[in-house]
Structure 1
């Protein structure tokens, strides 16, 4: 059954045997939730990666999704972004969504400013919004730079600016810092936290990095056998430090759920 991408109307809950649905509407439905996924199933041939997967997210909630390689984390993110078809189930998401991938995916023949406004209506207002977004990510002097002149961290900042300028109600992050060196990743974590506090979208972060999930998220999920096997709130005040007892205890819990044994 195909997952249908529909906009501007409220869809009925999924009934057994009906085609999958995506409803892209307001930031929160009548139940006050930003994201609702029910009974989502996705298979590649005989390999089922999502099996009766269900998730709810509140407006402004930051959720991190962990799982082993091939567990379906990125597949679910693509479902929320309406990038993956042939999926069964019901999904309701906000109409304004933006995705940041591990690779910045900048067009090398376009300067930074044009990469940020890609796909948006032209005009002075759009350009001003893009310049403001670049300033927010610390790249106000790079609007006319070519992508090839940027470092990896700068390129990913441009990708974040491109997401911000769309004023998303749901921000989808697919391993956005996985290709960065350790120091740049730390800076990007701080930047993301600042941007999140200012804009307060709902955020779904797909990551392999347990520490990253604990540092950033309000809630951490573990995906196993196509479903959520663990959902745990991160009740650790900011700024979070890896050496704190609560941080270490939560890391151990999550690693154990992922089947990873910590070194003594």
Structure 2
């Protein structure tokens, strides 16, 4: 039985995914399922191929081998908000969509969800880093994605803004229930947000673990610390058992 036969509620199916740059194998036959509404975090060392994998799921890189099934309705949020500086906030949210009254209403609703309705007519240069990233989230939400791809979206934010963005993302995911793949280098962030964590090592998924830390998740709990230690060991950051 292949992975495609194991679950009926999967929105992402990856089988034998391979990617090479010259003679360098980056992704070496990856298999992964993501269920509807599931939040998966992808960890790995720098240069391990995390963003390469995400780009394949987002159809930004078609030069891969293997089987890949993803929903047509998908959206990507990058570390850089990638806002158009010559367009106001509302237009940035609707970029690429039909210019209709209905789309405009949806965009305003999305800005309201990220608490930026009052900024709809301002220029991106007037926004803080956190506000710009919230616009990027609104731009993703207005597309009503079945799959939300997040490529280290909070990596450039300060610690306090990251905490606020984590809470906002959790709230948005509860309301919209997309499947999520979060690429991050931050182990704590992965544990705080994800239902499941996979680790990419030498082109393969070396670990795939369900996050069973009770909610609300707190760093000081034994369960959090135990999983953190396991993940850091898997990443080669600290010595420890690979279980």
Q: TM-score range by the shorter chain?
A: over 0.9
Residue equivalent to 1:109: 86
Aligned with 1:209 (options 181, 186, 205): 186
CA distance in 2, matches of 1:246, 1:55: 25
2:156 is equivalent to residue 179 of structure 1: yes
What stretches of structure 2 of length at least 5 have no aligned partner? none
Residue equivalent to 1:244: 221
CA distance in 2, matches of 1:46, 1:243: 44
Question: Which stretches of structure 1, 4 residues or more, deviate above 3 A after TM superposition?
Answer: none
Residue equivalent to 1:35: 12
TM-score, normalised to structure 2's length?
0.95
Q: CA deviation at 1:30?
A: 7.9
CA distance in 2, matches of 1:202, 1:47: 30
TM-score, normalised to structure 1's length?
0.87
Q: CA deviation at 1:240?
A: 0.5
2:231 is equivalent to residue 231 of structure 1: no
2:127 is equivalent to residue 127 of structure 1: no
1:125-164 paired onto structure 2 within 5 Å: 125-164=102-141
Residue equivalent to 1:26: none
- SS at 1:66's partner residue? strand
What stretches of structure 1 of length at least 5 have no aligned partner? 1-12, 14-28
CA distance in 1, matches of 2:88, 2:75: 20
Q: How many equivalent pairs are there?
A: 235
